[in-house]
Structure 1
Amino acid sequence: MQTVPLSDLVARVDLGLTVLCGAGALDRPVRWAHVSELEDPTPYLVGEELLLTAGVRFPSDVPAYVAGLVSSGVSAIGFGVEPEYPTVPATLVEACEAQGMPLLEVPPSTPFLAVSQALGAVLAEIAVREQRMLADSQRALTRAATRVRPVESVLTTLAVVLNCRADLVDATHAPEDVSSLVARVASGTGPRSASAQVGEDHVTLDPVESAVLVVRRPAPLSPAERAVVAVALALLGLLRRDLESERGQIARLAASALLRAEVSGVEAVLGAGPYRVVAGQSRADYDVLAQRYGPLVSKGEGGFLALVAAGLGVSGPVGVSSPVDGSGIEGAAAEASALLPRALATGEPALPASDLSSLVDPVAARAFARRELAGLLGRPELIDTLRAWLGQHGSWDRAATVLGVHRNSVRHRISHVERLLGRDLGTADARTSLWLALTWLD
């Protein structure tokens, strides 16, 4: 059931409640207001009540009375002054102070019914607000799932709507502080999840196919927020299955492109090798290549792959593999797909081992990339934002268009990148180093 922080009731001017003690515990949740004049009401309590009493049958052993309420999980006591007592009994104030129980004075002008009605109204407001938040979040997550990079878009949207950090990781690339939890959730079977307090963050973990969704933030998730996570889990599960299926389809396409047709037939279309694989997502690029090369172009939900002549001039945001012969098509498809994020960030073709990259040892380049981007590893939404922003020469508007988010979101993420990396992205040195790192990280 929904609860209300005690502070929300205290803040209601119309109730006129006065905090006599326990001001430091006003964040306690209140589920309902319960009126009782029994000397021992504990058999009728379930916890998280605001217990209202006017002291009609005030107990003789006040410390024991308060101790019973504490053990029953009562969140606070509201004492109504008059007609029984002109002021709140000092013994009750002392006992509540000693046992950490918040005590509120209810003025004669406020009937207990008014307190109950106010609590009900606040609960109703919260319910409506959470239903609206859930509906808005569902729409936002569904829209995110239709974007160019759906998995990353869903994670970014989830992080925004819940004001949290959301990562999709596997057991071998999990953050160190939750690696054991990730391994446990990933290795289980059937419905499973975990939650824990890790440092200052409350962390929840849920499986998504072979990966684990890790959500962390300072405050625990409410039931409505858990429902938002459930929507994200369902979408991520579908997207992961589609992507895994599509990757397999793309790899099979690339590996067997020359096997499905006679080599002479491919040569009739493309000429004698070498060949390249082009990876893209633009419908216009796909239409041009499909019209020209027909069966050597394959389209899926996440984009397309095309087998083309090595000398073909290409334009637009596409990844282009190195030249290969018929035996290297599968590797060329993987290479073109890996280059596609860079192409999408710049709006221009991305080719491998060009310029400075061709002069650098690949092992050293990857080590440099991981060192430069260490603070962002495991944060794909920040890596994608940095790539798009640098690829668009620091333009907030153009980067926002590439990512499909608001320009203020780009600003917020880039400032977060600067904090995590400890770099000033306004300098040419930082931008150059990070662009090379992003290039070599691929």
Structure 2
Amino acid sequence: MPPTLASLLRNPALKLAVLAGGDRLEEAAVRWVHTSELDDPAPYLEGGELLLTTGLKLDVGSPEALGQYVARLAGAGVVGLGFGVGVSHDAVPQALVDAASAHRLPLLEVPHRTPFIAISKAVSAEIAADRYKAVTAGFEAQRELTRAALAPDGTTALLSRLAAHLNGWAALYDASGAVVAAAPEWAGRRAARLAGEVERLRGRPAPASAAVAGPAGTEDRVELQSLGTGRRPRGFLAVGTEERPDTSARYLVHAAVALLTLSLEQSQALQDTQQRLGAALLRMLLAGEPEHARTVAGRLYGGLFDAPVRVLVAEAAERVEAAGDAVGLLAERVETAGMRSAEPVLAVRDEDRLTVLAAAEGEVVPSCVAAVDGSDDLVAGLSAAVGAAGVPAAHEQAERALAVARRRGRSLVEHDEVGSGSVLPLLGDDAVRAFSDGLLRPLREHDATARGDLVASLRAWLSRHGQWDAAAADLGVHRHTLRYRMRRVEEILGRSLDDPDVRMELWLALKSGG
């Protein structure tokens, strides 16, 4: 800490004596020493000074003038007044002592044998020693952070040491803004409540920083720092403290930012390599070679290929301009979910598409579902659970579910919905509607220009599975009339209603657009 008036008084070489303000000596930190004989030196002060004077120009015979003099010093932020005796005055004027006591301004008597320069040198030496100590402690703290970063659980260890040195808390977020690690453990909940602030910082190119108020109910002052060297941040660091960080604390935070950025960049290089390996493994699985994939994967993907898995295929919604960002954030969320749950997961990104292979009973799939379901930025399809040999079929299921999600205007469709639900919702595609209109147009044109109600009659006949009496009763006509109408349908369409494929196409046309 910087020198105080108390530390100067403890210096035996200075032989200073306290005449007023003795109760404030320990708290009076001295930033510098200034000598002035002006009766109003306040305009030339910055605050935090120990002012030295011999009282050469002071009106010592006027208590009022001395009171105003002391008031001006106190207002300028002077931490103490040193009065040199034996030059202009043999003793410190009592009126000055009284004024200093009234304003609680420490007043020191400087003996004639103590030159003012000696006090300046003493303060300078203490300031230099304090700064050297701070620099040394800062270097040692940075070395601690570096050693922590090299530990097996480097990120958590680094955050723990950083929080301890700052007497606060620290948290690391991934690129999507999810909390990856925090120290102490309770800080994770506090850090999660700053998601909105992190989101705002995420929109700015890295590196960027922001100072924000802590979560409601706390007195924290939080520093947010983005991590990464590219346009898009790879993560974020949050540091919460009750007091504003001093210079040494800021140096320490900057060191942590550098170490975490380096770690993330190295992790990105490893992720790129793993991504290429993952793409190769996915091709093997889709080619029906699960044993080869298992051999190549080795221990990297653990038991992923030994238990049921599900396949998710996600793309950016067509209406999203920043398509790549949406898919990229989902990929990062998948990675974070895998790390948190210690689950192996295969995530392969190709342009604006992401294919995820994850344990059917794990936590990654629900995390993906939560990220996609209801999203305006993504659309995805999810397969049923299969073994490694069934990955090709699961991939086809996910692709079909994705296509259905796009047609229905939904963000997520699971294969079970497609497989167990009605086929009719699948007929909303524009191509199906065009087919329906083309097939039924001749019948509609006939009904518009002549009597016969061929479309309605065809619908009733097909719905009754070709039963003449039942269909005629539904229409309120004689069965012979219905037979005549069905012959006209065959003549106009040029197709036989005895053909089951024709009946199927006509029924689907009627259901989709008729």
TM-score (norm 2): 0.49
- Aligned pairs for 1:98-137 (under 5 A) are 98-137=102-141
Distance 1:225 1:338, change over 3 A: closer
- Aligned pairs for 1:165-184 (under 5 A) are 165-168=169-172, 170=177, 175=190, 179=194, 182=197
Query: C-alpha root-mean-square deviation of aligned residues, in Å?
Result: 4.3
- Aligned pairs for 1:29-428 (under 5 A) are 29-59=29-59, 60=62, 61-168=65-172, 170=177, 175=190, 179=194, 182=197, 186=201, 189=204, 191-194=208-211, 203-208=221-226, 209=233, 210-217=235-242, 219-240=243-264, 242-243=266-267, 257-260=281-284, 263-268=287-292, 270=294, 293=295, 295-297=296-298, 304-306=300-302, 310=306, 323-325=307-309, 327=311, 337-340=339-342
TM-superposed deviation, 1:152:
1.5
SS at match of 2:108: strand
C-alpha distance in 2 between matches for 1:334 and 1:255: 19
Q: Conserved in 2, the CA contact under 8 Å of 1:185 and 1:212?
A: no
Q: Conserved in 1, the CA contact under 8 Å of 2:168 and 2:239?
A: no
Gap runs ≥5 in structure 2: 180-187, 227-232, 314-330, 344-358, 367-514
The equivalent of 1:24 in structure 2 is 24
TM-superposed deviation, 1:179:
4.3
Q: Conserved in 1, the CA contact under 8 Å of 2:237 and 2:257?
A: no
Q: Which moved more, 1:14-23 or 1:177-186?
A: 177-186
Larger Rg: 2
Task: Note the alpha carbon deviations across 1:9-52, whole angstroms, 9 max, x for none.
Answer: 23333323333333236323322111112222223323221101
Q: Quick one: which amino acid aligns to residue 221 of structure 2?
A: V
Distance 1:194 1:64, change over 3 A: same
Count, aligned residues: 305
The equivalent of 1:398 in structure 2 is none
Q: Quick one: which amino acid aligns to residue 324 of structure 1?
A: P
SS at match of 1:305: coil
SS at match of 1:138: helix
C-alpha distance in 1 between matches for 2:104 and 2:71: 10
The equivalent of 2:356 in structure 1 is none
Distance 1:100 1:161, change over 3 A: same
Q: Conserved in 2, the CA contact under 8 Å of 1:296 and 1:307?
A: no
Gap runs ≥5 in structure 1: 271-292, 299-303, 311-322, 342-350, 355-361, 363-442
Q: Which moved more, 1:231-240 or 1:134-143?
A: 231-240
Distance 1:332 1:82, change over 3 A: closer
C-alpha distance in 1 between matches for 2:246 and 2:293: 59
State percent identity of aligned pairs: 30
Distance 1:230 1:337, change over 3 A: closer
Q: Conserved in 1, the CA contact under 8 Å of 2:167 and 2:241?
A: no
Q: Conserved in 2, the CA contact under 8 Å of 1:158 and 1:232?
A: yes
SS at match of 2:301: strand
Q: Quick one: which amino acid aligns to residue 205 of structure 1?
A: E
Q: Conserved in 1, the CA contact under 8 Å of 2:308 and 2:360?
A: no
The equivalent of 1:15 in structure 2 is 14
TM-score (norm 1): 0.56
Task: Note the alpha carbon deviations across 1:250-303, whole angstroms, 9 max, x for none.
Answer: 578558623246655432575xxxxxxxxxxxxxxxxxxxxxx3x3148xxxxx
Q: Conserved in 2, the CA contact under 8 Å of 1:250 and 1:305?
A: no
C-alpha distance in 2 between matches for 1:112 and 1:234: 45
Q: Quick one: which amino acid aligns to residue 34 of structure 2?
A: H
SS at match of 2:109: strand
C-alpha distance in 1 between matches for 2:271 and 2:26: 53
TM-superposed deviation, 1:146:
2.0
Q: Quick one: which amino acid aligns to residue 305 of structure 1?
A: Y
C-alpha distance in 2 between matches for 1:66 and 1:106: 17
Q: Indicate whether 1:4 and 2:8 are aligned.
A: no
SS at match of 2:209: coil
C-alpha distance in 2 between matches for 1:214 and 1:10: 38
C-alpha distance in 2 between matches for 1:58 and 1:226: 44
Q: Conserved in 2, the CA contact under 8 Å of 1:166 and 1:215?
A: yes
Q: Quick one: which amino acid aligns to residue 283 of structure 2?
A: L
TM-superposed deviation, 1:194:
1.6
C-alpha distance in 2 between matches for 1:337 and 1:183: 21
- Higher relative contact order by CA 8 Å / sep ≥ 6: 1 or 2? 1
Distance 1:339 1:182, change over 3 A: closer
Distance 1:334 1:71, change over 3 A: closer
